[in-house]
Amino acid sequence: MSEKAETRRAVIIGLGLIGGSIGLRLKAAELPGLEIIGSDIDRSSERAAKKSGAIDRGEHDLAKAVRDARLVIIAVPIAALRDVLTAIAPHLAEGAVVTDTASTKGDVMKWAAELLPESVSFVGGHPMAGKEQTGIDHADAALFDGRAYCVCPTVNSSPAAIKSVVGLAQALGAEPLFIDAEEHDVYAAAISHLPLVAATALFNLLRESPSWDDLGQLASTGFHDMTRLASSDPSMSNAIWKTNREAIIHWVDRLTEELKRLRGMLSDAQDEELFKLFAETKLQRDEFIANPPRRESAVRGPEVDRGRALLDILVGGMMADNIRRVGKIPEMMEEARQEAAPADKKRRLTLGEKMEEGIRRDLEKMEREREEKAKREGDD
């Protein structure tokens, strides 16, 4: 077998915190024959990634970087993602798998469908991990350990492409989570983007106070923890808000309603009810921290060597027989839930499933509001 045939090339486009961390973890796995090429608009990031061991070599020319690559991972800010897809589309090898790490998925999936050739497969991805710091200097091979890794196939994603991204997530130490793109954006707005909005609002509220000099001296761990996300990259934050505007507004409205409810309890001196609320919230959060809800794993069956699974995928190997096209994934999850139910009685919903039901109701409410708005505009 020739040297070229033995080499499996994976390309990481964007060598910041996420891209650099992906490279560090894959290189740490020491998978035989896997060559990792890194490309970044900033040549100094390419040099730093090479020096840190996150990539085997840098290639500033995107066309050359993706040529002959089996797996292309786009880890650039979402504001630059469309331009990257446009640049690499004519140069992708037939059968290549392209994925991304963007924080919102709706626009990304549309861009991929519009710009990429039919000879390649796109599977959206989003590791639910990060830091407020950015750049290759903050990359960490353990960044994804135990974290959810959202996998968003399209109706045209090949089974092999889906397996490739699942294998990538597993190789990074993450837990693959199949999810629809629209569902992802609403969930991410609640669990990730709303905290960013809240942190920004809280910091600005106090920073603009005439008493800030005194307030700042009193600020301790609580204020620091609550406003940590306000130190996020502003261009990234702005792009998230622009590409997930409707879902974020929905959750901001929900948060506003909850704050009004708390204000009412305070105004009415409902001390007993407030204590009950604080106590129940503490217990529920403690339970969440100790036993976070999990969906059924994307891959069922015997434990596999995660690094080996990714390597097999890159040369066309099979990872698990029961991974099917995206239409089969909800069915698989429901089968797993039924298997877990006691035979003689109805199984109680887990906390995670209750959360899912609540958010699904919110999705339905948003859809109704959207239809009503469209109807009103049509009447006008």
Q: What is the pLDDT of residues 82-100, one digit of tens each?
A: 999 999 999 999 999 999 9
Sort 361 into a burial class: Cβ within 10 Å, 0-12 / 13-18 / 19+.
exposed
Q: Which residues of the chain have pLDDT under 70?
A: 1-7, 294-364, 366, 380
Partners of residue 150 on adjacent β-strands: 126, 177
- Read off the pTM: 0.72
Sort 371 into a burial class: Cβ within 10 Å, 0-12 / 13-18 / 19+.
exposed
Helix, strand or coil for residue 57?
strand
- Please state, in angstroms and rounded to a whole number, the distance separating the CA atoms of residues 24 and 22: 6
Contacts with 108 (C-beta within 8 Å, 6 or more apart), sequence order? 78, 81, 100, 102, 124, 181
- Inter-residue contact 226 to 202 (CB < 8 Å): yes
The closest of 293, 296, 317 to 305, measured between CA atoms, is: 317
- Inter-residue contact 33 to 17 (CB < 8 Å): no
Q: What is the pLDDT of residues 273-317, one digit of tens each?
A: 999 888 888 888 988 888 887 655 444 443 445 555 565 556 543
Query: Which pLDDT score is estimated for 21?
Result: 95
Residues in the chain, overall count: 380
Mean of the per-residue pLDDT values of the chain: 82
Query: Which pLDDT score is estimated for 312?
Result: 56
